[in-house]
Structure 1
Amino acid sequence: MKQSGWKRTASWTAAAVWAAWAAGIGQPLAAASPVAEVQAAAIAPRTASLTERTARGLPEKGGTGEAAPVASALLEAAKAPVRPAPSRIKAALGASSPRETPGVERSAPVPKPAATHRAPLPAPAPPPTKQTPAPPGGKSGLAVADAAVGQAMARKIAPSAEARCPAAPAQPGAAARADEPDAPPRLVCLATAFEATLTPPQREALRLPFTAKHAVSWSNRPVDEFPRNGIALGTLGEDSLEALKAMLREALSADGYDTARGIILADDKMSSAAGGNPRWGSALYHVAFLGDPSGSEPWMLQLSGRHLALNLASNTREIGLTPMFLGIEPRLFSAGGRDWAVMEPRLESMYAMLRSLPPDQMAAARLGDSRADVLLGPGKDGHFPEAEGIPYSHLGEQQKQRVRASVAAWVRTAAPASAQALLADYLSPEALERTYIGWSGSTDDRVPGSYVRIDGPRLWLETVTLAEEALPGRGHVHMVWRDRKADYGGCFF
């Protein structure tokens, strides 16, 4: 395999550490009040048919030296994160016509080394043994529950929820609970504070053993098709929802937390557009603790719903942020006094990488099979395929920079300390030499079937565009981040 000409340096490490913090979050403007109805007894899951919609597209989008290519690319991404222009967001709130993109003709492929075979591992996928049913009340009850959860997700975290577990002091040596010898990590403190807001039955349903059986029990399918671990957000009171938000904010970066709540709010837009469809909506997201929150023993925070699955493991063999499923419909919308476009930075970085390839490299990167959805979604644990596409080592310096920027756009979902360590591993010269870029379908991110992925010795990123299910012309995408070494903290696969 062609060897990269650049070496790992101290300046590369420093740049990789700081590059993931490009995205800040807006401050939504919304107010909410407690809704007693959503705390009533749960009812059985419901089924509903869904009318097939005609897919439309979103509106029109408006070489460094060899010494430290990772540093330059990531610092550039940090200084100028990809954000859609406000005019584009506004325009997307109405219907638009898709843009036709001609296919790319295959030319003589760039020579590439033989792919390394990666044997799939068996993936257990039994349903969880302890579940909380969906919120009460049919369509009307779910609408009330969605409103309560959506209002909570759209507004700032209540200061009282943050104050339950003060952050470590900025000044070294200053007294603070987080610095006391027996104090738990702040995430553990916030998890315990969230649990304290629950009723005894909710607390019992929240916790499950940290086993492979429960860890793999997540999905993006509707809750009536795949019951979730833990308790439904629609059954939580206002105090519990605020405590949940504080816990999630600690577990993720600012960008990651903003992405999570934007996805949940988008699901409410889908539900409303479908006439209050009881298979979607923020009320149907579930939260669970696998194992006991601890500063030393393995445990996992799990959040799973229609377009979001977080599996955040602590005290495990590896840094456990994956598998992470992200999806959204609509891609751009307004809620809580602001415009939301939380998936656009990841999408635009992946497609900018793809479109930067010259024709011969584009042909070499093209995958044979078209994709109707992500390849390694729920139930596909350990089933990594053989490497396909064009090797990173065959790319030009501009293309390499865009690959690294795409990885950074994803990894900054994680809390800072975790992202630093992962970037150092994913973007090491050794890892990049074994990284491949592939695509199929279309180079237009608005065309159903358009698919792009980055496949490294550890890292797996993929994104696919789907036909809309409830909001024609507003965009529908699915994405997955996996880690061969660290899915579920490296405990089961």
Structure 2
Amino acid sequence: MNKSIAAAALLALMLAWPGNSAGAVGAAAWNASYEGGANPVQKPAPGKKGSGADVYTALQKGIAREAKAACSRLPHDSRVACLARALEDTLPRQQRKAIRYPFTAKHAVNWSYLPLEEAPRNGISLGSMSPASLEAFKALAAEALGPHGYHTMKAILLADQAEQEASGNPKWDSRLYHVAFLGDPSESNPWMLQISGHHLAVNRTYHTREQGLTPMFVGIEPRISAAGGRTYGPMEGRLQASYELFRSLNPDQLAAAQLEEKFEDVRLGPGRDARFPEHEGLPYSHLDDKQKRKVREAVTGWAIDAHPSDMPQLLADYFAEEALDRTYIGWSGSLDDKEPGSYLRIEGPRLWIESVVKREAAMPGRGHVHSVWRDRKADYGGCFF
């Protein structure tokens, strides 16, 4: 694909993507349709309002200028390494030691959406941080993920706190999210920033064979939440784009795209690295032009969480003609985005995106979704599988 044509197409897609306003349009539509070797578990520091008040309150605020000032003049990759070291500088000695791990497959694959007691995480918890450390973490995450990715992270943690407060179950506390550095944060050597908790896992690599943030797990319950006078629906735009694609299929296309397997959760979640099945479903080449555009919009809905320095090349690779010729879409269960077992998938020679509607665990009628974005070439920077 001609690079200039690809760049123009990517810009058009990003501007037109229905989730470009952080899911606000999709959130409104969804609301209208509804009635009604890791560390031991670290105990969060006491909060002022519920068990997660410090993280919950901090995430609603902007990032303190002084938390990012010292690294502001550096290029992106160097800035991330600088901010990682700045976070370490705010930590007591025990936490400085606990946040670092060797950059090995054993540690890289240690992420999960299971409760902390069942799946201990690498690194240190947000709830164990001082206010200064939490500000430094926010500055690091915002730079590493970019504006859209940081918004997604923030919205998911705020939703988790709503889930925790509604249920009274401490295992969903937003303060139990962990951050770890695999390898030494560096301007030249391979390393990885890992953020992992109940409904989010990010594995952002630097100076590796491939750079990216996959595997990336994104989940949500409730699908729409409110905090600080704002409404958040971080998955609504991408889900809207995905379901519009499958609902545009004619009966013959739907039959060809339907998968035999039924799903209660994502297929390639934690612990299932490099277990990609054979391609199945409806080939991209069997779609009309409008449907092909909907595929690209749906993929962009996930890829927009990548940093702006990475996203254009990722999408250029995913949307290259030879890649699209080997791209398939599939569904199972239902095309009702509120029905448990509704499952969608888009896969290509590199790309794997899947989402599934789950039963609500704490907030009936408010929606519960799991999704995974993987990349056969770039998971964990392409270092291990």
Query: TM-score, normalised to structure 1's length?
Result: 0.74
Q: Does 1:462 align with 2:368?
A: no
- Matched residue type, 2:87: F
What do the CA deviations read for 1:457-481 (whole angstroms, capped 9, x no partner)?
0000000000000000000000000
- CA offset at residue 11 of structure 1? 4.1
Query: 1:409 matched to which residue of 2?
Result: 301
1:372–1:466 contact (8 Å) kept in structure 2: yes
Q: Which of the residues 34, 38, 42 maps onto 1:134?
A: 42
Long gaps (5+) in structure 1: 1-7, 20-72, 97-127, 168-177
Query: 2:69 matched to which residue of 1?
Result: 163
Q: Which of the residues 293, 300, 316 maps onto 2:208?
A: 316
1:288–1:303 contact (8 Å) kept in structure 2: yes
Q: Which of the residues 142, 151, 156 maps onto 1:263?
A: 156
- Matched residue type, 2:61: R
By percentage of residues, which structure has more helix?
2
- 1:162 and 1:242 mapped to 2: Cα distance? 9
Query: 2:25 matched to which residue of 1?
Result: 84
Query: 1:148 matched to which residue of 2?
Result: 54
- Matched residue type, 2:182: L
Q: Which of the residues 18, 23, 31 maps onto 2:11?
A: 18
1:320–1:490 contact (8 Å) kept in structure 2: no
The alignment of Structure 1 onto Structure 2 pairs a total of residues equal to: 384
- 2:35 and 2:113 mapped to 1: Cα distance? 26
Specify the SS of the correspondent of 1:135.
coil
- Matched residue type, 1:423: L
- Matched residue type, 1:247: L
Q: Cα gap change, 1:16/1:236 in structure 2, threshold over 3 Å: closer, same or farther?
A: farther
1:210–1:300 contact (8 Å) kept in structure 2: yes
| Structure 1 segment 29-108 matched on structure 2, within 5 A | 73=13, 76-77=16-17, 83-84=24-25, 88=29, 95-96=35-36
Q: Which of the residues 213, 220, 224 maps onto 2:113?
A: 220
- CA offset at residue 197 of structure 1? 0.7
- 1:401 and 1:208 mapped to 2: Cα distance? 42
- Matched residue type, 1:449: G
Specify the SS of the correspondent of 1:415.
coil
- 1:359 and 1:425 mapped to 2: Cα distance? 31
| Structure 1 segment 402-441 matched on structure 2, within 5 A | 402-441=294-333
Specify the SS of the correspondent of 1:253.
helix
Question: Identity of counterpart residues, as a percentage?
Answer: 54
1:142–1:278 contact (8 Å) kept in structure 2: no
Q: Does 1:487 align with 2:379?
A: yes
Q: Cα gap change, 1:143/1:286 in structure 2, threshold over 3 Å: closer, same or farther?
A: farther
Query: 1:284 matched to which residue of 2?
Result: 176
Q: Which of the residues 247, 252, 267 maps onto 2:140?
A: 247
1:16–1:424 contact (8 Å) kept in structure 2: no
- Matched residue type, 1:76: A
- CA offset at residue 319 of structure 1? 1.6
- 1:377 and 1:479 mapped to 2: Cα distance? 8
- Matched residue type, 2:55: V
- CA offset at residue 17 of structure 1? 4.8
Q: Does 1:345 align with 2:237?
A: yes
1:390–1:438 contact (8 Å) kept in structure 2: yes
Specify the SS of the correspondent of 2:253.
helix
| Structure 1 segment 102-117 matched on structure 2, within 5 A | none
What do the CA deviations read for 1:245-282 (whole angstroms, capped 9, x no partner)?
1111111121111000100111111110112x121111
1:329–1:474 contact (8 Å) kept in structure 2: yes
Query: 1:201 matched to which residue of 2?
Result: 94
- CA offset at residue 136 of structure 1? 4.5
Specify the SS of the correspondent of 1:378.
coil
- Matched residue type, 2:5: W
Q: CA RMSD in A?
A: 2.1
Structure with the greater relative contact order (CA < 8 A, sep ≥ 6): 1 or 2? 1
Q: Cα gap change, 1:89/1:459 in structure 2, threshold over 3 Å: closer, same or farther?
A: closer
